[in-house]
Structures are given as structure tokens and as C-alpha cells.
């Protein structure tokens, strides 16, 4: 299959593995930021192959996992109101809030509609003007352009029954939060290729200069990941810290200017609470004042809802690389995809889900 098989060639993968082992003189700890990369590393056995040479720890790059619990509680509350239908991606439905998930809420009569794009929610609102539709807008810079487009569509249709719970988050502020933590273990980053496809990678220059950590933009196929790991190790062994783009077939330095302009038109940067992390400065996006008629927080006057913390889930420790999923005492026992304690076991990009899905029950 052209454009896929060539990035999964076993012989080339073996050559890259051999080269990584050959040049490595000490233990290095790398973090892949994106949950999609975590799944690929586990699926193709790369983390296990590098055991004892390079340790791969898993970052906060799962938007469902980091969506603030208070936002889920608000979504559940709105979905129970008679006049409202909450539209959401399917991944969000099983993530636990303070009093259960959206799926639990649906079982008790809440009005919830799974959609596959923000535009689907706009279309529902257009076809059913008698009903309020609230779209639960989660995701990184990769999905923000699609919800920005939905806002413009809603404005063009002059919809008065469409709004959003905006929970978009930004990757780089989270990376800064990680490296500033006193227990930081990250020595180099594999940057998420799809985010860089939209945002470019120029902004990482200042990050690399400030923190003196290698950042290598990397794709998702096995050879992409091995090539990125090799580039990181080469820099670390040479005591260098540079920004490299190893995903040039997709990522350009400036990114997608049209998508960035659309996001810039609809959103502004804000501080945002990340689940487990607390508030990350400049860690999110919110609607600009001129688009706030579509903000569900304002339209429905969000009340103060006490958040009940779930201490049993160690998702924060997993998403900051302090532990691997099998090190959690609940992994595969009290916490499974069928009965999750936290978001990383539910989401298709969650680290715990990756370990469970690919049967990795020990720490590679």
C-alpha cells in the first residue's frame, strides 16, 4: 500500500533499531507527546525493543484524557435539561465525571447525540430549530479549526439554538509545564506531527533554546517513530539541543496558515484547567468576545458545580511520565475499558488503553 507500507518495512526498522542501540552509551528518557504515537509504539513493539536502551514515557497528548472534569460535569448537567441536546464525539461519553459519565447520564434520561464532526452538530441545530444543541468541543490545535468553522457556519445560518462548551487545549504550554516540574524526567521530546501540521514548528525554536531539550517532530508509523527516536538520541549523545523536523512529508515550518487564521479569528488564548494538571497558563482556547453568543458557559449561566475528585485514578502520573500504566495498582483489575476509573483507559488515544489493548502488562 503506497504511502503506508514503506513506513512499516521490517528490514529498515531493524536497521534503525540497530543504529539506536549502537550509538547509545547511557540510558535516555524520551517523551512522545501524542497518544496516537503511544499506541503506535505499543502496537509495533518499539517500546519493548528499546527496553534497557531508551525509555519511552507517555505525554499528555490525549485531548479526551485532559478535558477538565468540571467541563464534563457541566455537559452532564446541560444534557439533563429538557430543551437541550448535548452533541459530543463518542470518546467523551465514557469519561467519568464527578457523578458518572455522559453515558451514565444518558441512561438516566439525558439527551445526548454522538456526532462525527462539529458541522454535524450545526446541521442538527439547523434542522431542529425548536431544540438547543450544545457541542462539546474538545481537542488540541488539530480539531480547533473544525470547531471554528462550525461557529462560522452557525453564524451564517443565523442559528440561535447552537452553542459550544469550548474545552480546546494547546500542546506547547503543557510541555512547558512538564519541563518546569521539579520531578521532570524528560530529556527529549517527540513532538506530535499532526499538531505541527496545523501549527507548524517554528514556535518550538524558543522552547528548545530556553530549556535546552531536543524536540523532534515525528510522525506515527513505525519508521517515523524510530527515525525520530534516533534523531533524539544522536542529539543527546552529542550533548546538543536542536529542533528537527523528521515528518517533512506532512509538516511545514509555518504550518497551515489558513487553519491558523480561522482559529485566530474565532478564538483567543486563555488559561485552562487540564484534568489532573490544574490550570496551565495559556493552555487553552476560548471564544473571542465577538463570538460569545455561541458560548454555552454564558448562554446557560454555568453554575458552580462542586467537583468530586477521583483519587483512585493515577492518570496524572501516567500522563507526566512518572509511572507506566501497568504500575498503577488498578490497571487491568479495577480499571478496564469496560469499567474505567479514568479517561486514559477509555480514550482511543489513552496510554492505559494502549497498554491494555496490546497486552502489555509489564513496563517496557
pLDDT in tens, 312-345: 889 889 999 999 999 999 999 989 998 888 889 9
Superfamily of domain 67-168+277-300: HypD, alpha/beta domain 2 (3.40.50.11740)
- Yes or no: say if 94 and 103 are a contact pair by the CB < 8 Å rule: yes
Task: Reply yes or no on whether the pLDDT at 304 is more than 90.
Answer: no
Q: How far is CA 51 from CA 20, 184, 226, 234, 250, in A?
A: 12, 20, 14, 18, 29
Look at the block and give the residue holding cell 507527546. Answer: 33
Q: What is the value of pTM for the model shown?
A: 0.92
Higher pLDDT, 84 or 61: 84
Query: For residue 306, is it left (φ>0), alpha (ψ between -120 and 50) or beta?
Result: beta
DSSP annotation of 350 reads -
What is the overall mean pLDDT for the chain? Answer: 93
**How many C-beta atoms surround the C-beta of residue 213 within 10 A?**
20
Domain 10-63+171-245 CATH (choose: 3.90.25.10, 3.60.10.10, 1.20.210.10, 3.40.50.11750): 3.40.50.11750
At 51-81, the pLDDT tens digits run 999 999 999 988 899 999 999 999 999 999 9
Parallel, antiparallel, or unpaired: how do β-strands 84-88 and 112-114 relate?
A: parallel
Task: Name the residue among 66, 104, 136, 108 with its Cα closest to residue 296.
Answer: 136
Q: With contact defined as beta carbons under 8 Å apart, do 219 and 193 qualify? A: yes
Distance CA 53, CA 28 (A): 7
Give the start-to-end residue ranges of the domains of the chain.
10-63+171-245, 67-168+277-300, 314-358
d(CA 225, CA 192): 11
Residue 119 to residue 116: CA distance in whole angstroms:
8
Residue 92 clears pLDDT 80, i.e. is over it = yes
Residue 301 has pLDDT above 80, yes or no: no
pLDDT digits (tens, 9 = 90+) for 169-185: 999 999 999 999 998 99
Strands (E), 118-161: 132-139
Closest residue by Cα to residue 112 from 144, 80, 68: 80
Q: Do domains 10-63+171-245 and 67-168+277-300 have the same CATH topology?
A: yes
- Number of Cβ atoms within 10 Å of the Cβ of 14: 12
Q: What is the pLDDT of residues 190-240, one digit of tens each?
A: 999 999 999 999 999 999 999 999 999 999 999 999 999 999 999 999 999
Amino acid at each position: 500500500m503506497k504511502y503506508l507500507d514503506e513506513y512499516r518495512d521490517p528490514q529498515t526498522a531493524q536497521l534503525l533499531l540497530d543504529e539506536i542501540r549502537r550509538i547509545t552509551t547511557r540510558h535516555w528518557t524520551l517523551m512522545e507527546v501524542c497518544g496516537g504515537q503511544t499506541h503506535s509504539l505499543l502496537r509495533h513493539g518499539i517500546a519493548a525493543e528499546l527496553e534497557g536502551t531508551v525509555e519511552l514515557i507517555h505525554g499528555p497528548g490525549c485531548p479526551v484524557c485532559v478535558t477538565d472534569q468540571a467541563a464534563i460535569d457541566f455537559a452532564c448537567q446541560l444534557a439533563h435539561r429538557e430543551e437541550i441536546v448535548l452533541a459530543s464525539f463518542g470518546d467523551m461519553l465514557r469519561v467519568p465525571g464527578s457523578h458518572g459519565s455522559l453515558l451514565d447520564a444518558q441512561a438516566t434520561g439525558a439527551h445526548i447525540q454522538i456526532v462525527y464532526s462539529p458541522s454535524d452538530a450545526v446541521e442538527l441545530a439547523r434542522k431542529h430549530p425548536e431544540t438547543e444543541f450544545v457541542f462539546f468541543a474538545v481537542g488540541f490545535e488539530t480539531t480547533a479549526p473544525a470547531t471554528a468553522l462550525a461557529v462560522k457556519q452557525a453564524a451564517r445560518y443565523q442559528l440561535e439554538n447552537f452553542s459550544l462548551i469550548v474545552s480546546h487545549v494547546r500542546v506547547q504550554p503543557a510541555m512547558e509545564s512538564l519541563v518546569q516540574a521539579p520531578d521532570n524526567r524528560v530529556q527529549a521530546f517527540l513532538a506530535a506531527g499532526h499538531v505541527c501540521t496545523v501549527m507548524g514548528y517554528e514556535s518550538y525554536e524558543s522552547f528548545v533554546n530556553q530549556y535546552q531539550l531536543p524536540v523532534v517532530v515525528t510522525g506515527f508509523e513505525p519508521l517515523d517513530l524510530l527515525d525520530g527516536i534516533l534523531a533524539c538520541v544522536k542529539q543527546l549523545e552529542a550533548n546538543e539541543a536542536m529542533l528537527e523536523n523528521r515528518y517533512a512529508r506532512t509538516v511545514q515550518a509555518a504550518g497551515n496558515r489558513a487553519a491558523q487564521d480561522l482559529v485566530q479569528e474565532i478564538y483567543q488564548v486563555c488559561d485552562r484547567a487540564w484534568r489532573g494538571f490544574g490550570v496551565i497558563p495559556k493552555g487553552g482556547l476560548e471564544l473571542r468576545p465577538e463570538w460569545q453568543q455561541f458560548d454555552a458557559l454564558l448562554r446557560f449561566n454555568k453554575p458552580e458545580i462542586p467537583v468530586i475528585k477521583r483519587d483512585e485514578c493515577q492518570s496524572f502520573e501516567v500522563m507526566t511520565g512518572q509511572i507506566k500504566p501497568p504500575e498503577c495498582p488498578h490497571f487491568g483489575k479495577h480499571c478496564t475499558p469496560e469499567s474505567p476509573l479514568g479517561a486514559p483507559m477509555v480514550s482511543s488515544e489513552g496510554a492505559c488503553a494502549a497498554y491494555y489493548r496490546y497486552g502489555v502488562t509489564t513496563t517496557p
